[in-house]
Amino acid sequence: MSTTDRHPGNFTGHRPGSRRLLVAGAGIASLALAVALKRTHGPALDVMLCDPGLNAGAARHRGRAYAVAAGPRRMFEQIDVWPRIEPAAEPMRRLVISDSRVGDPVRPVFLTFGDGTEARRDAGAEGEPFAHMVEAEPMVSALLDAAREAGVRLVAAGVRAAAPGPRASRVTLSDDSTEEVALVVAADGARSALREAAGIGWVGWSYPQSGIVATIQHARDHEGRAFEHFLPSGPFAILPLRAGGALGHRSSIVWTERSADVPALLGGDAAETLAEIERRFGPELGPIALEHGPSAHPLHLGIARSFRAPRLALLGDAAHVIHPLAGQGLNLGLAGAAALAEAVTGALRLGLDPGADAVLRDYEQARRFDSVAMAAATDGLNRLFSNDSLTLRLTRDLGLGLVDRMPGLKRFFIGRASALRGETPRLLRGEAL
């Protein structure tokens, strides 16, 4: 089936607006939302996903990788997508945190999260990694395939305007066609045009940092270990990927650097760029080579003043953008997708309007506090670690050392990172909607 096919075989024409939803943007969280809703409600709910870049498929996500926490992985299992993703997923079983300068001959380890079983012990099932590293391209490809099979209408067009009314929202697409739907989900990125058109404010700022991402091949096995080296300019993360490549093993790096220094660091030839990476990568994994990248992306923090407007719900980066140092941006988006799917499903099963203000208020209340808390936590950690103050270094290293000696506190942090603590949506608990 073509991604631009408006009327797949199981679609029988226009349905009442109360049984129709439109998702703007084909990111990982929005695709997961569409698949979850369509698998739950089948032909009773028409789900349309619009994105002008759909015909490019998953290839436009090449070179990126994400840490999928235990909770979102359970969501993928519940919507029957994880079996497609798992062959490309590498369990993250250990996290090693160090704090040093680039030229320091020794990188003292201040905090280690064991073998990754802490989250599983809290959930009552031993042995589950707290996260899996998955490259974006196979993950998006799996979600697109699942969406087609579930009957999601995939349309390669953008959303030009959405005019909410008392019973439905009238949506105009970039190809001049119109749709009437009960709810529009704005998942159109941090510069969301739908959020702006709805008059929802945005609070945030740009960091004087850029995130540099690349895929690295290396000679030694990472054994499922992730490394987070806190350097004065920002964290340098080495994240384990599935084996492969000429050197046999692979990792993704997320390198935070001062934006003003990026042209000098990446502006040379391939050998000079690799040398800069090697200085930060360290010798633990042996000789390295570049497989993909690097590419630099300015970093920002932002959160919408509201996650909703009349017949509009914000999802993913349209609702919140956080610093990547904790690798929680995607997991926040997937948690939002799980919460929105639960709110919409609850309304539909009661015969209520899924785009009603009360439904969207429930969704916002379920996700806003956690989103704000995570944004504040990542911002605070970045400010604490991205500097070369001797006083702050001593304070933070002492704090990391204390956490390392307190198993209960370590389990708490892992539980938060795994999305397995507090009030979590049913899908993140591995339960059906």
Which one has a higher pLDDT value, 394 or 79? 79
Residue 93: which pLDDT band, with cuts at 50, 70 and 90? confident
Of 116, 117, 118, 98, nearest to 108 by C-alpha is: 98
Q: Would the CA dihedral through 197, 202, 206, 211 be positive or negative?
A: negative
Confidence of residue 345 (pLDDT cuts 50, 70, 90): very high
229 versus 362: the higher-pLDDT residue is 362
Residue type, 230: F
SS3 305: coil
Q: What pLDDT is attached to residue 401? A: 54
Proportion of the chain above pLDDT 90, given as a percent = 68
Does 355 score more than 60 pLDDT?
Answer: yes
Query: Does the pLDDT value for residue 8 go beyond 70?
Result: no
pLDDT, tens only, 130-160: 789 999 999 999 999 999 999 999 999 999 9
* Spatial separation of the C-alpha atoms in residues 7 and 25, rounded to whole Å: 19
Q: How many helices (H) and strands (E) does the chain have?
A: 12, 20
Average pLDDT over residues 168-195: 97
Across residues 355-373, what is the average pLDDT?
95
Determine the straight-line distance between the first and last CA of the chain, rounded to whole angstroms.
Answer: 27
- Within 42-198, residue ranges assigned H as helices are 70-78, 82-85, 118-123, 136-150, 193-197
Pairing of β 109-113 and β 131-135: unpaired
Domain ranges of the chain: 17-204+302-429
Residue 394 has what pLDDT?
A: 62
274-323 tens-digit pLDDT: 999 999 998 899 999 999 999 999 999 999 999 999 999 999 999 999 99
Q: Please tell me the distance from the alpha carbon of residue 321 to that of residue 303, in angstroms, as a whole number.
A: 6
| Predicted confidence (pLDDT) at residue 87 exceeds the cutoff of 80 | yes
Residue 36 has pLDDT above 70, yes or no: yes
Between strands 234-240 and 225-231, the pairing is antiparallel
Q: What is the CA radius of gyration of the chain?
A: 22
250-261 tens-digit pLDDT? 999 999 999 999
**Is the pLDDT score of 74 beyond 90?**
yes
| Contacts with 391 (C-beta within 8 Å, 6 or more apart), sequence order | none
d(CA 193, CA 300): 18
User: Amino acid identity of 127?
Assistant: G
Q: Give the class (CATH, top level) of 17-204+302-429.
A: alpha beta
The pLDDT assigned to 10 comes to 31
pTM reported for the whole predicted model: 0.89
Q: In sequence order, what E strands does 142-272 have? A: 153-155, 159-164, 169-173, 178-181, 183-186, 202-218, 225-231, 234-240, 249-258
388 three-class SS? coil
Residue 388 has a pLDDT of 64
Q: In whole angstroms, give the CA distance from residue 279 to residue 268.
A: 15
What percent of the chain stands above pLDDT 70? 82
Mean pLDDT estimate for the chain: 86
DSSP letters, 169-189, are: EEEEETTS-EEEESEEEE-S-
Distance CA 260, CA 298 (A): 11
Residue type, 94: R
pLDDT of residue 22: 98
The Cα–Cα gap between 368 and 72 comes to 18
